[in-house]
Amino acid sequence: MKKTLIQTLAVAALLLVMGEGLGAQNQKNMEKQDVPQNLSAFPVGNANTGFAQYFTGRSWLASLTSAKDLNVPVANVTFEPSCRNNWHSHTGGQILIAVGGKGYYQEKGKPARLLLPGDVVEIVPDVVHWHGAAPDSWFSHLAIECNPQTNKNTWLDPVTDAEYAAATGADSLPVCRLSDAAVSRLADWHVGDGLRQTDPELAEIVGNFAFDETQRGSEIDTRTRILVTMAASVALQASEVFGMTLEAALANGITPVEVKEVIYQAVPYVGFAKAGGILKQANGLLTAKGVKLPLEPQSVTSPETRQEKGLALQKSIFGESIDQMYKTSPAGQLHFQYALSGNCFGDYQTRPALDAKTRELLTYAMLVSLGGCEPQVKGHIQGNVNVGNGKDVLIAVTTQLLPYIGYPRTLNALACLNAVIPEP
């Protein structure tokens, strides 16, 4: 009886120890898993336990340099939402480069500064300051230690909740009554507070309309919303919107190859004169994030096969109408039909990075954004239907684009939709 009791207690003790070990491991795994690994091009690293006493919230640290002879320590620091370090100073100064998410930097006695990827902060020696994440966003920055031979940190008091709220909340920004849904989606898209700081009333109207009202009751996913908005931005030559959608794309799992394919897809529809400038912008943004260019090749045709493969793809989407276009085209204009098949479809649309359903949605988004392309819009409405994008999807995409393309082009798109697919 005693032996059985002792054995039972021993097993229980062993299970308890094992459970604690497994629990700690599971907790460690969970903490690692909930960190967005694609926040920037730099590694997240490990939990910043060595400096945890000087941080409010969780942070991660990845040392990026190791050559002691260079003596320029550089690290990537990642903060969870609302995490910030204590007030502190450096005798040798410091440089911060924001690389992911949204954060803040504040010097003692001065307003906080919003930090978005690409922003640089030069901190002169002995200035008391703090930096960290925004309340609604993860944040990563590179920390570069200056004058490392003599540089020493002086850690001071934590940034209180009241100080943090005053720096990052309603006390530091003009009143902007955004819905919870709009705030959440703006964070998902990594949209900063620039417009709110200068034009809070417009930020409220546009934010609620573009990121809440126009998305209610729609079944298209975030990925599709980003891609069609990106396509529209290329057609509109809206470089600021394109930059926003590129940040949103990478933060939501859309690959650099897919981003480039949106621009490639635009070339035959909006022309290289427009797509080329956006391509240059994209290459600069991708390079800044550590993406090595050129990307892996995507072409699956050759000069010998482009015509045949392009025509086959064209017919698979638009059916017998393609044969009719060839038959009815005047002899002096027939080369345009061959160009459509071999160039538009053979060179571009056969590329496998995006499927036919996605490409037809992108084409629709570009054409309605261009304006004045109603015959082509109608043709690609039918193409969308043929590949499985119904009227409900096209209306959802049109609604998504409304804040970016305006009412006249939106209403023209609806007229085309109703002409091709009449309401019951």
Instruction: Give the tens place of pLDDT for each residue, 265-279.
Output: 999 999 999 999 999
Other Cβ atoms within 10 Å of 378 Cβ, number: 17
Of the chain, the percentage scoring pLDDT greater than 90 comes to 75
User: 36 or 212: whose pLDDT is higher?
Assistant: 212
- The pLDDT, as a whole number, for residue 303 is 97
32-65 confidence digits (pLDDT tens)? 446 887 789 899 999 999 999 999 999 999 999 9
Q: How many whole angstroms separate alpha carbon 316 and alpha carbon 97?
A: 49
Average pLDDT of span 182-208: 84
Q: How many whole angstroms separate alpha carbon 68 and alpha carbon 179?
A: 50
Virtual torsion, Cα 130, 188, 170, 134, nearest 10 deg = -10
* pLDDT at residue 106 greater than cutoff 60: yes
* Residues 6 or more apart in contact with residue 145 via CB below 8 angstroms: 72, 73, 74, 90, 92, 94, 151
Say whether domain 224-298+351-420 belongs to CATH 1.20.1250.20: no
Say whether domain 46-168 belongs to CATH 3.40.50.460: no
* Burial degree of 368 (CB within 10 A; 0-12, 13-18, 19+): buried
* pLDDT at residue 11 greater than cutoff 50: no
* pLDDT at residue 204 greater than cutoff 60: yes
Q: How many whole angstroms separate alpha carbon 395 and alpha carbon 235?
A: 19
CA-nearest of 264, 187, 266 to 232 is 266
* pLDDT at residue 161 greater than cutoff 60: yes
* pLDDT at residue 1 greater than cutoff 60: no
Q: How many whole angstroms separate alpha carbon 196 and alpha carbon 254?
A: 27
* Residue-level length of the chain: 424
Buried b (16+ CB within 10 A) or exposed e, 190-210: bbbbeebeeebeebbeebbeb
C-alpha atoms less than 13 angstroms from C-alpha of 235 in its C-beta half-sphere = 28
- The pLDDT, as a whole number, for residue 172 is 54
User: 67 or 48: whose pLDDT is higher?
Assistant: 48
3-state class (DSSP) for residue 342: helix
Domain with CATH 2.60.120.10 in the chain: 46-168
- The pLDDT, as a whole number, for residue 339 is 98
Other Cβ atoms within 10 Å of 130 Cβ, number: 25
Q: How many whole angstroms separate alpha carbon 142 and alpha carbon 144?
A: 6
Average pLDDT of span 126-133: 96
- The pLDDT, as a whole number, for residue 32 is 47
Domain with CATH 1.20.1290.10 in the chain: 224-298+351-420
Phi, psi of 149 (to 5 degrees): -60, -35
- Pair of tokens at residue 212: 């809440």
- Pair of tokens at residue 348: 């571009």
- The pLDDT, as a whole number, for residue 4 is 42
* Average pLDDT score over the chain: 89
* pLDDT band of 12, cuts 50, 70, 90: very low
Strands in 146-294 per DSSP E: 153-155
- Pair of tokens at residue 301: 């045709």
- The pLDDT, as a whole number, for residue 173 is 61
Contact between residue 313 and residue 349 where contact means Cβ atoms under 8 Å apart: yes
* pLDDT band of 30, cuts 50, 70, 90: very low
Q: How many whole angstroms separate alpha carbon 199 and alpha carbon 205?
A: 10
C-alpha atoms less than 13 angstroms from C-alpha of 44 in its C-beta half-sphere = 20
* pLDDT band of 149, cuts 50, 70, 90: confident
- The residue with tokens 């085209």 is 329
Average pLDDT of span 7-27: 39
* pLDDT at residue 311 greater than cutoff 80: yes
- The pLDDT, as a whole number, for residue 357 is 97
* pLDDT at residue 409 greater than cutoff 80: yes
Strands of 59-63's sheet, edge to edge? 46-47, 59-63, 74-79, 139-145, 94-101, 120-123
* Residues 6 or more apart in contact with residue 254 via CB below 8 angstroms: 223, 226, 227
pTM reported for the whole predicted model: 0.66
- Pair of tokens at residue 193: 């507070």
* pLDDT at residue 3 greater than cutoff 80: no
CA-nearest of 262, 266, 286, 284 to 274 is 266
* pLDDT at residue 150 greater than cutoff 80: yes
Q: How many whole angstroms separate alpha carbon 57 and alpha carbon 131?
A: 12
- The pLDDT, as a whole number, for residue 19 is 41
